[in-house]
Amino acid sequence: MIDHSHALPVVRQAKLLSLSRGSVYYKARAVSVADLAIMRRIDELHLDHPFAGSRMLRDLLAGESMAIGRRHVATLMKRMGIEALYRRPSTSRPAPGHKIYPYLLRGLAIDRPNQVWAMDITYIPMARGFV
């Protein structure tokens, strides 16, 4: 979208498009051959152990005499779009015995100012966290 040969300066073009100047001049670097080999092995290990996270994959790679850190493994996993499969907490299920409050505005036509008010107090700081 940005034309370097246009009469309008690149800085102004970037500002009009709401882009930072750094992103205009950024050139993506190619992934190194060593990283590609590690990514291929991480993919194979992920297929064998889908529950393995970055720490376990690092240990599995260390067992194959590949010296790599956990953060680098996590970065490569993020780049590949893979993550460990594990059981997550069921936070959407209501606990038995808890009262379910009805939504009082359902079916109400709001047609005048000050008919309905809403407030969010989650951002109010207190001594030990937020409200």
Is residue 3 in some structural domain?
yes
| Distance spanning both ends of the chain, measured CA to CA | 45
Residue found under tokens 């997550």: 88
Show the domain range for 3. 1-30
Q: Indicate whether 125 pLDDT > 90.
A: no
Is residue 25 in some structural domain?
yes
Q: Are residues 37 and 2 in the same domain?
A: no
Q: Are residues 53 and 73 in the same domain?
A: yes
Is residue 116 in some structural domain?
no
28-32, 39-43, 77-81: least confident range: 28-32
Q: Supply the mean pLDDT for the chain.
A: 89
Q: What is the pTM of this model?
A: 0.56
Could you read off the pLDDT of 32-69 as tens digits, one per residue?
A: 999 999 999 999 999 999 999 999 999 999 999 999 99
Q: Indicate whether 131 pLDDT > 80.
A: no
Q: Are residues 37 and 67 in the same domain?
A: yes
Q: Are residues 44 and 18 in the same domain?
A: no
87, 56, 90, 86: which is closest to 73 by C-alpha? 56
Is residue 51 in some structural domain?
yes
Helices (H), the chain: 10-16, 21-25, 33-48, 54-63, 70-80
Cβ-in-10-Å burial (0-12, 13-18, 19+) of 53 comes to middle
